[in-house]
Amino acid sequence: MSKYPSEQVRITPLFVNFTTAVATAQEAKTRYAGQGNFSILCGVRVAATLATGYSATAAMKVDFAVSESTAATVAGSVITGATMTLGAATAFVMRGGVNCILVVTTDCATTAGVTLNGVRYIGTAVGATANAGAIQIARAINGYGSSIKLPHYRAIPTYTAKDLVLITADDDMGTGITAVCTAGSGVQVFMSHLQGVIDIQGSKLSTNSPKYIGVNIATTSAETTSVRYAQMISHPTAGGGAPGVKVKCTT
């Protein structure tokens, strides 16, 4: 019987936060004890302010920076190249989406649309209502007619409201969503869940001992209550895996 993922890797929480203040690495760190290469999983559960702000010209983003220090109580310094931006660093361009929501206006026309992972999608017919417009966009994303289906993702129309379309995973092979819209296009992209991974070679760390790994997080001024998190994924130096309570569902 193969091992469970939790028995092969160690996932250690470094940061979970939803305040407006800049999040420093001193709030949570873990010691690096020769685990070799490791990854930092970064993510955001977007709050309403960041989602609606995406339709404005101002960038709406969250910046992550992985740091190394010689003690858990000192700030340390950012590891060269170990940075990531999730969200819309450029107006109307969302990067790092695990999923997202399209908002279709009542006057959505066939010329209006959205670009998802490099593929342009527009309605195949003018929608008489927002409901019809949202369904047309969703059908195009799902490969209706001559449209190319968005690989690994599916559009679900009338998601909680008649003018909303949820873009979510269709299998377990999707590597994220980049979504681009334009001002006044009739289709807006609202961010929901953002995620990314920073891979770091153990050889890139300093020769200092001990070493502590932490994460700094900075947000835009309009961001208020989104949840930001960072977790370290590494291979245990011996047996065991993820810290915390473990439950095996074997029934």
> How far, CA to CA in Å, does 111 sit from each of 13, 91, 119, 184, 186?
45, 20, 15, 11, 9
**Can you tell me whether residue 237 is helix, strand or coil?**
coil
Is the sign of the CA dihedral 77, 74, 62, 162 positive or negative? positive
**Confidence at residue 202, expressed as pLDDT on a 0 to 100 scale:** 93
Dihedral, CA of residue 206, residue 23, residue 245 and residue 47, to nearest 10: -140
Does residue 159 carry a pLDDT above 80?
A: yes
Name the phi and psi angles at 83, rounded to 5.
Answer: -130, 155
* pLDDT level of residue 171 (50, 70, 90 thresholds): very high
For domain 5-92+194-234, give the fold: Jelly Rolls (2.60.120)
**Confidence at residue 67, expressed as pLDDT on a 0 to 100 scale:** 94
Q: Which of 89, 53, 98 is nearest to 223 (CA)?
A: 53
Mean pLDDT across 167-193: 90
Give the span between the Cα atoms of 187 and 125, in whole angstroms: 14
**Confidence at residue 69, expressed as pLDDT on a 0 to 100 scale:** 93
- Averaged pLDDT score across all residues of the chain: 85
Does residue 22 carry a pLDDT above 70?
A: no
Residue-level length of the chain: 251
| Percent of residues in the chain assigned helix, strand, coil, to nearest 5 | 10, 45, 45
Cβ atoms of residues 92 and 54 within 8 Å: yes
* pLDDT level of residue 230 (50, 70, 90 thresholds): very high
User: In the chain, what are the domain boundaries?
Assistant: 5-92+194-234, 96-180
Give tens-digit pLDDT for 76-119: 899 999 999 998 888 888 999 999 999 887 677 777 889 999 99
- How many CB atoms are located within 10 Å of the residue 186 CB? 24
Q: Which of 6, 13, 43, 17 is nearest to 30 (CA)?
A: 13
Q: For the chain, give the longest Cα–Cα distance.
A: 66
Please list, in sequence order, all residues whose beta carbon lies within 8 angstroms of the beta carbon of residue 105, skipping any fewer than 6 positions away.
112, 130, 133, 163, 186, 187, 188
Does residue 28 carry a pLDDT above 60?
A: yes
> How far, CA to CA in Å, does 99 sit from each of 8, 69, 109, 149?
27, 34, 24, 16
User: What is the separation, in whole angstroms, between the first and last Cα of the chain?
Assistant: 16
Q: Which of 160, 106, 170, 111 is nearest to 134 (CA)?
A: 106
Give the span between the Cα atoms of 20 and 101, in whole angstroms: 24
Cβ atoms of residues 37 and 9 within 8 Å: no
Does residue 20 carry a pLDDT above 70?
A: no
**Confidence at residue 99, expressed as pLDDT on a 0 to 100 scale:** 94
Task: Name the residue with higher pLDDT: 203 or 250.
Answer: 203
